[in-house]
Amino acid sequence: MGALIAAGQAPLGAWWLALPVLALLIRWLAREPHPRRAAVMALFAGAGHFAAALFWIVEPFLVDVARHGWMAPFALILISFGMALFWAGAAAFAAWAGQTPARRALALAVALAAADALRSYVLTGFPWALLGHVWIGRPVAQAAAYIGPLGLGLLTTLAAALAALAPRRGSAAALALLAAVWAGGVWRLAQPDPAPVMIEGRPFQIRLAQPNAAQDLKWQPGMQEMFFERMLAQTAAAPAPGMPSPDLILWPETAVPWLLNDPGIVLEMISQAAGGTPVALGIQRSEGLRYYNSLAVIGPGGTVGEVYDKHHLVPFGEYMPAGDLLGSLGITAFAARQGNGYSAGPGPALLDLGPLGRVLPLICYEAVFPQDLNAAPGRADWILQATNDAWFGALSGPYQHLAQARLRALEQGLPLVRVANTGVSAVIDAKGRVLASLPLNTDGFLDAPLPAAYPPTPYARSGDWPMLVLLSLLLLGLVTTRRR
């Protein structure tokens, strides 16, 4: 049952299957009055959901099978049951708080939404495969501009609980609720867009370079140079007939296999290929024994301009908790090339690109944390995500990552440009629509104008706080009424 709910996640996006199955799950769990039994039932349902949604988690372990392959099944089991603990806690609370199946169903709707909220923050957070994500790419998702991803989740669980309470009247009420939100999304999508961003009287043009460097080949001697030369060629290529030259060229995460502070003539080669056009690229840098996963802007002559260091690192991927101890056992971070991982940057930042605007940089999975975007020191003009989705395989991970980027754009009301090593590189407008893209596992470049930004959305102004307060009040109300 849980695995069928995962069908609502990208790339399938089968919300029409996920929502009825979620209603059946709520109805099934609501019949169980004993918290311990309800928790066990929800634990296995949740494990099925997360195993189906997050099976791409084994991909990093398969890059070097001889060294890390043995850990792949343990990683999938641990993350599936670890995430399912949140569902188990929600079911136990609902069984305790509700004295009747109807009350338990409503309590479970609130508790599951609260579980997604907790999962978004606890232990650095992992807000992947949230229940509200089934609406990404559908008009319902436009509500995220007002209520954010947690609000989408509560909307989803409440609709499912209504259908669970009464198959006929409840389903009709749930459909009416979703139809109203859907219609509101259609209306918002139909509103005219602001004027496009202009540079010297013409649209601001961006080029995305996608080298398609497979992760098991990316760092191999000889292959490093090949992929670098491929990106140089993409950077130097003439635009299509009738298309203007790019004003900014973007390379993906860790695109350059040399350190920023010891590049040799590499930066001059990049600038020469770009003809002096600024290039924003992913590169590693070091300060003493510390290494950073960074994004740097390279100007004419190979000069280094703005630099951003990734601050929200991937546990076990880019740094190791208790890294020295685990390192002595031969267990090191996957993405980092040195030691036991990267060091974290100081936090969200804005890069001032002058006439090209103020950009909010995100490196890889920083794009799955809406709270980090809201913590930026000011309002950006657009969002840039440099990523290496080769770690995620080719089936579901890259598409789920793209879906999250779409949600971040419409939550903030800002265009988002993502450049990915193996794809999907894309230009996304402020309503979360993909306007242009390069497919997965292809090499090439894409020239496209930067879409316009919207004024700050209600969610961009308030973040998760309204929904966190609402969920807390609903939970408190369930506790209070239970005691009475």
Q: Is the pLDDT of residue 304 over 90?
A: yes
Q: Is the pLDDT of residue 317 over 50?
A: yes
From 32, 59, 253, 366, active-site residue: 253
| Distance (Å) of CA 155 to CA 8, 53, 95 | 15, 20, 21
- Per the CB < 8 A criterion, the answer to whether 45 and 80 are in contact is no
Q: For the residues 115-124, what does the mean pLDDT come to? A: 95
Residue 28 burial class via C-beta count within 10 angstroms: exposed 0-12, middle 13-18, buried 19 and up: middle
Closest to 199 measured CA to CA, from 89, 314, 357: 357
Sorting pLDDT into bands at 50, 70 and 90, what band is 482? Answer: confident
Instruction: Give the phi and the psi of residue 180 in degrees, each rounded to 5.
Output: -65, -45
Enclosing H/E stretch for 235:
helix 223-236
pLDDT of res. 222: 87
pLDDT digits (tens, 9 = 90+) for 400-452: 999 999 999 999 999 999 999 998 999 999 999 999 999 999 999 999 999 99
User: Is position 364 annotated as part of the catalytic site?
Assistant: yes
The distance of Cα 303 from the centroid of its chain, to the nearest Å, equals 31
Query: Can you list the alpha helix ranges (DSSP code H) found in 98-168?
Result: 101-119, 144-165
**b or e along 289-301 (b: 16 or more beta carbons within 10 Å of the residue's beta carbon)?**
eebbbbbbbbbee
- Per the CB < 8 A criterion, the answer to whether 25 and 54 are in contact is no
Q: Is the pLDDT of residue 180 over 70?
A: yes
User: Of 74-88, 284-298, 314-328, which gets the smallest average pLDDT?
Assistant: 314-328
| 37: amino acid identity, one letter | R
Q: Is the pLDDT of residue 332 over 80?
A: no
Interior CA angle at 381 toward 463 and 309, to 5°? 75
CA distance 94 to 260: 53
Segment of 160-174, 327-341, 425-439 carrying the highest mean pLDDT: 425-439
From 32, 218, 306, 364, active-site residue: 364
CA distance 247 to 269: 18
The better pLDDT of the pair 137, 334 is held by 137
Sorting pLDDT into bands at 50, 70 and 90, what band is 318? Answer: confident
Q: What mean pLDDT is reported for the chain?
A: 93
pTM of the model: 0.94
Q: Is the pLDDT of residue 330 over 70?
A: no
Closest to 2 measured CA to CA, from 84, 94, 113: 84
pLDDT digits (tens, 9 = 90+) for 198-239: 888 889 999 999 999 998 888 888 899 999 999 999 999 999
- Per the CB < 8 A criterion, the answer to whether 438 and 421 are in contact is no
| 365: amino acid identity, one letter | Y
CA distance 241 to 312: 41
* Both structure tokens of 437: 């893209």
- Per the CB < 8 A criterion, the answer to whether 212 and 443 are in contact is yes
User: Is position 310 annotated as part of the catalytic site?
Assistant: yes
pLDDT of res. 338: 45
User: Is position 225 annotated as part of the catalytic site?
Assistant: no
pLDDT of res. 483: 62
pLDDT digits (tens, 9 = 90+) for 132-158: 999 999 999 999 999 999 999 999 999
| Distance (Å) of CA 105 to CA 88, 136, 257, 480 | 14, 25, 53, 17
User: Of 54-63, 322-331, 401-410, which gets the smallest average pLDDT?
Assistant: 322-331
Neighbours of 242 (CB within 10 A): 5
The distance of Cα 362 from the centroid of its chain, to the nearest Å, equals 10
Whether the bond between 417 and the residue before it is cis, its omega within 30 degrees of 0, is: no
pLDDT of res. 322: 57
CA distance 35 to 91: 7
Q: For the residues 281-287, what does the mean pLDDT come to? A: 95
User: Of 70-74, 184-188, 392-396, which gets the smallest average pLDDT?
Assistant: 70-74
Whether the bond between 21 and the residue before it is cis, its omega within 30 degrees of 0, is: no
pLDDT of res. 337: 47
- Per the CB < 8 A criterion, the answer to whether 103 and 121 are in contact is no
Q: Indicate the angle between helix axes 101-119 and 465-483, nearest 10 degrees.
A: 150
From 310, 318, 366, 411, active-site residue: 310
